[in-house]
Structure 1
Amino acid sequence: MATFHPFARLPLELRIRIWKMTVEPRAVEVRFKTEFRTGGTVFHVMSSTPMPGILQACHEARNLDLYRRAFAYGDKPRYVWVNFKMDMISIGDTDLREIVDEQRDIRRLRFERQDDEWLFHFESKELKEYTNLEELHVVCLAGFFDWLEAWECVEWSCPEENVRFIDKESGQMIDGYELDKMWDDFVVESKRKEEEEGGD
């Protein structure tokens, strides 16, 4: 990429607008790790998501607060650079209860679960603490149908039309309304097959 040498001579307001235009939505991977060692338990946060390039560009860009340090937990605090307005925070199978300080900051959240049992029994109350959630992606490890009851019964912390279910194996993404339709189609097809087999 070519360097634009006169950039520093541009008016500050224009430079700030340009820096802000470099911010793009990212999927930020956040994992909580507990290590059991001879001296005791060590708890810390890990992320495979690289630091945004803008933070490495110059002092001026770093001072614009386009990203902030987050998830600095544990005995050996580390942190992850996040823009909560744009970034999707992807926590894998990390329990929602592990995240404490950032619950109200997270607007886009992605987690994976085997089925909806854990969410029903342990995490549905915690999900309500994510009061600014705008979008939620649930990675379904055992397929979509294991999430039908959750779709219908859980009080989602974001608008229902922004809840998405993702099949881990195929990568297919659907919303709850499509999940309902998929189930209805499955039931109709199952009944049709039953009737055909019964008629033989």
Structure 2
Amino acid sequence: MTAFHPFPRLPWEVRARIWELTVEPRTVEVNIEYEKTTVTDDMRARYSLAPDTSRWISILRLRSSTAVPAPLQACREARIHLTEGVGGLGNYRKAFHQLLAAINDGKEMPLQLELRLELGLGLEPRYVWVNFEMDMISIGQSMFTLFEPYYQNIKRLKFARDRNEWFCYFESKELRNFAKVREVYVVCLDGLDCWQGAEECCFPYSIENVLLIDWETGKTETPFETDARWDEIRAANYRKEGARINLDTHVPFVPWLPPGWFEGQEEWDDYYGDW
């Protein structure tokens, strides 16, 4: 059966519930980037730009490869109910509007309609349909600060980072601004091994579900699993040096000292840091 013709004759409460049950979790790609555009002399003349306009305009662009949710394309009744009604699974809403069109010399720059079209911004701000209760918001390498208007809305977050950049830009602290987030996926651009110890220093304690994803292989681990794997690697190296290992801590029993041990050494990993 390709169509259920009696569907319109069902009671409204039944139809509404059926539409709600069509809602499924998705991964919604939302990439926001600044793109520099050169201000040419021809552009200045055609659009009568102010004399103090600098040579560059930074355009804030919103890109998403995620299609409109299927239930919203089913029919008018489904679209209205799932965007305006009070569904049990949460509603879809327009989000991530391209509110700030352009920046010139650190200030917001109003753009004429013709100039907006020339820069590829379109007549209206772009947006993405999102169900914040269920959808995973995947921002790639976009900066956290660009999503400030949605800090309180996003509950499932996915992003791609190199761990060194993660610390250099203090993003481990900025992640705390996503106050309602309960699940985080991190695409590790430098590989899973570089994220050992991440459980203690990279994520707020309020986030219970964190998954690390290797960018090249697609392998996944929780931070706890990554740390446990490296504990076993270190323990194996300790045993090669003749140590008797504490199975609970994966470190040698004291007073065992490896060859080359020097007075004042406090951390085992300082000695074995090259492994």
Deviates more, 1:31-40 or 1:100-109: 31-40
- Residue by residue, what CA displacement relative to the aligned partner does 1:86-107 show, whole Å, maximum 9, x if unpaired? 1111111111111111111111
Q: Which residue of structure 1 aligns with residue 200 of structure 2?
A: 152
Unaligned runs of 5+ in 1: none
| Residue 166 (structure 1) aligned with residue 166 (structure 2) | no
- Structure 2 Cα separation of the partners of residues 140 and 131 of structure 1: 23
Q: Which residue of structure 2 aligns with residue 72 of structure 1?
A: 97
Q: Which residue of structure 2 aligns with residue 82 of structure 1?
A: 130
Q: Which residue of structure 2 aligns with residue 26 of structure 1?
A: 26
Structure 2 length normalisation: TM-score? Answer: 0.66
| Residue 43 (structure 1) aligned with residue 68 (structure 2) | no
Q: CA deviation at 1:190?
A: 3.0
Deviates more, 1:24-33 or 1:120-129: 120-129
- Residue by residue, what CA displacement relative to the aligned partner does 1:91-128 show, whole Å, maximum 9, x if unpaired? 11111111111111111001111115424642123211
- Structure 2 Cα separation of the partners of residues 21 and 157 of structure 1: 33
Q: Which residue of structure 1 aligns with residue 181 of structure 2?
A: 133
Deviates more, 1:177-186 or 1:29-38: 29-38
- Residue by residue, what CA displacement relative to the aligned partner does 1:26-47 show, whole Å, maximum 9, x if unpaired? 1111111322224523212110
Work out the number of aligned pairs and report it: 196
Question: Partner of 2:58: helix, strand, or coil?
Answer: strand
- Structure 1 Cα separation of the partners of residues 199 and 149 of structure 2: 27
Question: Partner of 1:164: helix, strand, or coil?
Answer: strand
AA paired with 2:94? R
AA paired with 2:129? W
Inter-CA distance 184–21: structure 2 relative to 1 (3 Å threshold): same
Alignment of 1:101-112 (within 5 A): 101-112=149-160
AA paired with 1:171? G
Asked whether the 8 Å contact 1:130–1:157 carries over to 2, the reply is: no
Q: Which residue of structure 2 aligns with residue 5 of structure 1?
A: 5
Question: Partner of 1:24: helix, strand, or coil?
Answer: coil
Asked whether the 8 Å contact 2:34–2:58 carries over to 1, the reply is: yes
Deviates more, 1:168-177 or 1:14-23: 168-177
Asked whether the 8 Å contact 2:197–2:227 carries over to 1, the reply is: no
Inter-CA distance 157–78: structure 2 relative to 1 (3 Å threshold): farther
Unaligned runs of 5+ in 2: 40-56, 84-90, 102-120, 243-258, 260-275
Q: Which residue of structure 2 aligns with residue 180 of structure 1?
A: 227
Asked whether the 8 Å contact 2:197–2:223 carries over to 1, the reply is: no
Structure 1 length normalisation: TM-score? Answer: 0.88
Asked whether the 8 Å contact 2:198–2:223 carries over to 1, the reply is: no
Asked whether the 8 Å contact 1:97–1:123 carries over to 2, the reply is: no
Question: Partner of 1:41: helix, strand, or coil?
Answer: strand
Q: CA deviation at 1:137?
A: 0.6
Q: Which residue of structure 1 aligns with residue 250 of structure 2?
A: none
Q: CA deviation at 1:70?
A: 0.5
Asked whether the 8 Å contact 1:26–1:87 carries over to 2, the reply is: yes
Cα root mean square deviation, aligned: 2.1
Asked whether the 8 Å contact 2:35–2:58 carries over to 1, the reply is: yes
Q: Which has the larger radius of gyration?
A: 2
Percent of aligned pairs sharing the same letter:
46
